[in-house]
Structure 1
Amino acid sequence: MTRTLVDPYSVPDELRPYLQEVVQRTHALCGSDLVSVIAVGSVALGDYRHGRSDVDVTVVVDGTAPGPVVPELAAALAHPALPCPAAGLELVVYDRNFTARPSGEAGYLLDINTGPLLPERASVDPSESPAFWYVIDRSVALQAGRVLYGRPAREVIAEPARADVLTALRASVREHSSGEGHLADNRVLNGCRSVQFCRTGRWQAKRRAAEAVAASEERFRPLLRAALHSYERPSRTAATTLPTTDVHTFLAWVAERVDESSDADRRG
């Protein structure tokens, strides 16, 4: 049976056939154990940039996936066996029993990275990966996830505790401060998204978050405008260089804002 997207028009035109195929291949292997397929990341937040953004997908299954399903799913979704039109696919599979409770852990059954601009990765051991990526994605899924198949996020994913999300944000800022493997503009814009979460408790698209921070923080305005200009360029390879010292200064300021939020929550 063909599995159609719940709402095809909730995802960008360039991704629609691809995400349809991701759903079909995932269902073909997981069958009735497939509970939900949810778009997160830039697609969920309405800020997908074709040629620049990854596609982030959260899959929830009912019970631990049978052993053969895990490598078969990784192979079925691997680029170029299934050509990814985006910079890459980052797909994470969880057991519904895990996502039903709040957690600050990675907790996945399978984590796949594949695509033209991503190094191939298929992990079945969550201890291999920093937990913060997954905590943030589950929080985004709950607030803004776009259901591609099955049950909505609010029915299958428990909201992570705010303390766990702030811990994840602090780890994210440390990761982006190192700069290794991250474009400078993305490091800055992720920092803006962290600040806006601390201020509002909501996830915003990176560009919207950067505009909000630029409006309130005059001293960082030139850097944020430069980061936005770079992010608007047509591909990752066209991204511009940003002043290293300015980026580090900004991310140190972001880290302070996250720490202040954590301290305020503990006192409150």
Structure 2
Amino acid sequence: MNDDEERRPVVPAELRGYLAEVVRRVRAVCGERAVSVAAVGSVALGDYRHGRSDVDVVVVVEPGLPGAALPELAERLAHRRLPCPAAGLELVVYGADAAGRPSGGAGYLLNLNTGPLLTERADLDDTGAAAFWFVVDRSIAHRAGITLWGAPARRVVAEPAPAELFSALRAAVREHADGTGHLADNRVLNGCRAVVFCRTGRWRAKRAAAGEIAAAEPRFGPLLEAAVRSYERPRPEAAALPAAEVRTFLAWAGARVEEAAAAAGG
């Protein structure tokens, strides 16, 4: 049993009623085609921050879901219909065939973003989607997902192949290096998480990953401490971080991902 399997974070109290209702609505809409509902992201990694974190959910369904079901699910879960207590809900629905393959693609049937601090979207076509977000989430689901209902996430969501996972991490670090649309603290902490995964083969919560990098690379300590302090604030109160230092750190993180990929033949 690996470390990810041994860790069993619990669903935060602030989310329990909400997630129970999400499960109820998934089952009501998808019926017997529903296979599994699991929490991933910060909830699964034990670092959910109320007022800052999104709640990330993966749903797996069997083939044959009626065509109207996914738009109906998106409507029933929209923040105006079911107020989200977190910064937002990011819910992804996969077909069981796609979820069960170690794919490097986005592969979703529905990608729903809704909540008080998220731009509303309900995508039913993964064409042109930035696949790396979904590859990383499926890896976390496989290794650490908290099953809220149905089949265990580890059994129905496949771990992406190493080459696909390294490709996703490269793309994620590039996305954060660009910086568009992302808070500076989140850019830095996601870079930490990518490097820690490359070094250890384990997903760590963002703040824990920052601590590991700060201990190993003291020159980045002040930036990482500032990023953690900012991350501990509500999202609208996030601090500005020195742009040049953020770029330097993410360039370093990108180089570490490249090295790990090359060493693994990925």
Normalising by the residue count of structure 1, what TM-score does the alignment of the two structures yield?
Answer: 0.95
Rounded to whole Å, the distance in 1 between the matches of 2:237 and 2:100 is 41
Rounded to whole Å, the distance in 2 between the matches of 1:56 and 1:260 is 30
Gaps of 5+ in 1: 1-8
Cα distance change, pair 64–108 in 1 and its aligned pair in 2 (3 A):
farther
Q: Are 1:65 and 1:109, in contact at CA under 8 Å, matched by a contact in 2?
A: no
Rounded to whole Å, the distance in 1 between the matches of 2:109 and 2:212 is 37
Rounded to whole Å, the distance in 2 between the matches of 1:166 and 1:251 is 16
Q: SS in structure 2 opposite 1:63?
A: coil
Match of 1:255 in 2: 254
Cα deviation digits, residues 234-262 of structure 1 (max 9, x gap): x1111111000000000000000000011
> Superposed, which structure 2 residues align to 1:155-194 within 5 Å?
155-194=155-194
> Superposed, which structure 2 residues align to 1:46-65 within 5 Å?
46-65=46-65
Cα deviation digits, residues 92-126 of structure 1 (max 9, x gap): 00000111111000000000000000000000111
- Shift in Å, 1:64: 4.5
Match of 1:100 in 2: 100
Q: Are 1:176 and 1:182, in contact at CA under 8 Å, matched by a contact in 2?
A: yes
- Shift in Å, 1:204: 0.3
Q: State the 4+ residue runs in structure 1 displaced beyond 3 angstroms.
A: none
Asked if residue 228 in structure 1 is aligned to residue 228 in structure 2, the reply is yes
Rounded to whole Å, the distance in 1 between the matches of 2:65 and 2:248 is 44
Rounded to whole Å, the distance in 2 between the matches of 1:23 and 1:266 is 40
- Shift in Å, 1:28: 0.2
Q: 1:239 is aligned with what amino acid? A: A
Match of 1:109 in 2: 109
Q: SS in structure 2 opposite 1:35?
A: strand
Q: Are 2:142 and 2:155, in contact at CA under 8 Å, matched by a contact in 1?
A: no
Q: SS in structure 1 opposite 2:59?
A: strand
Q: Are 1:64 and 1:109, in contact at CA under 8 Å, matched by a contact in 2?
A: no
Rounded to whole Å, the distance in 1 between the matches of 2:242 and 2:86 is 28
Normalising by the residue count of structure 2, what TM-score does the alignment of the two structures yield?
Answer: 0.95
- Shift in Å, 1:129: 1.2
User: For the aligned residues, what is the CA RMSD?
Assistant: 1.0
Q: SS in structure 1 opposite 2:264?
A: helix
Q: 1:75 is aligned with what amino acid? A: E
Cα distance change, pair 64–215 in 1 and its aligned pair in 2 (3 A):
farther
> Superposed, which structure 2 residues align to 1:200-215 within 5 Å?
200-215=200-215
Rounded to whole Å, the distance in 2 between the matches of 1:119 and 1:43 is 21
Rounded to whole Å, the distance in 2 between the matches of 1:156 and 1:46 is 22
Gaps of 5+ in 2: 1-8
Cα deviation digits, residues 45-76 of structure 1 (max 9, x gap): 00000000000000000114321101100000
Number of equivalent positions? 258
Match of 2:122 in 1: 122
Rounded to whole Å, the distance in 1 between the matches of 2:144 and 2:12 is 15
What is the identity percentage for the equivalent residue pairs of Structure 1 and Structure 2? 64
Q: Are 1:104 and 1:164, in contact at CA under 8 Å, matched by a contact in 2?
A: yes
Rounded to whole Å, the distance in 2 between the matches of 1:257 and 1:173 is 10
